[in-house]
Structure formats: C-alpha cells, structure tokens
Amino acid sequence: MTNDELQRLVMQISTREFGKPFKHQAVFNSRLQTTGGRYHLRDHHIDINPKMLTDFGEDTLEGVIKHELVHYHLSMAGLPFNHRSREFRTLLAQVGGSRFAPAPKHRQGQTARSRSRHIYIYECIKCGQRYTRRRRINTRRFACGICGGRLNLAEAYTQES
C-alpha cells in the first residue's frame, strides 16, 4: 500500500465512520517502533506504522486508523482528545477503533520482550570487584568505583529472556 492509497483509505474511513472529512495528510512512517500510529497536534497530520499492515493485516490497520481519527476529530472539535478522556473512550467505542495496537514483530519473529540480551561482566584487576552490565563500557575510560583500579572484561554471554 502506498501513501496515496493510505490517504484515500483514511479519508474513506473518516467519512464513513465519523461523517466528517479528513482534510489533512496521512502517511506511513517506518520510524515508528512501539506504536501503531501518531496524531500530530501541530499540523494535524497522522503517521501510521507500516508494520500494522504488513505484520497484522488490514483489520488491524483500520483499527489503528480509527484510533488516530478519534484523536483528530476530537481535537478539531475542541474537545479533550487524550486517551483518558470520557469523550475519547466513548467515540472510540462507537466507531470500533482499537484501544491498543499489537506489539510489532521484530525481524527474527520475536516480540521486543523475548529478545536475547547480552550481559557483560567486568572485574577490577586490583580488588576483584565484579560489575554486571547490559551495555559494553570503555575499560580505558572507566575505572573501579571502590579502589580506582583498571577494569577487565571477565565474561560476556547472551541471556534469553
């Protein structure tokens, strides 16, 4: 689906479900990672995560579009449009939009929570103090917090979560 096709789909859903036209721009934004879509208050355009279509199908995409259009139409009407407002929840239930977008699948077919993590264990050469880190550190720059001695990478392994 191209951005033009997405624009037409958003305009159709807006007219069909809300009875009002969508007069701004809707585009796919592949930089969105943890959300299905985003409504921009400043210029009223809508970004949609393309993974909602490729990973989950047109039904999920339509639910996300409805969700963002609820933000859009409430904002244009001058009503509260945040997720907790009564107006938002009522209108979302009326049009059948999705409350939450599904978690996007990653390249390996795993969810973000089930990815493996690297664990690094550093050890001080002087006092033997061990430090466990999830990110690598520069051993030339950082020293032991207890005695000031040099750190050495003692272990590195992958933890499945």
Catalytic residues: 68
**Which residues have CB under 8 Å from 38's CB, separation 6+?**
29, 32, 46, 47, 68
3-state SS assignment for residue 110: coil
Q: Which of 66, 9, 64 is nearest to 35 (CA)?
A: 64
Q: Which two tokens stand for residue 148?
A: 């000031």
**Which residues have CB under 8 Å from 11's CB, separation 6+?**
21, 22
Segments in 3-157 forming alpha helices (H): 3-13, 51-54, 58-76, 86-95
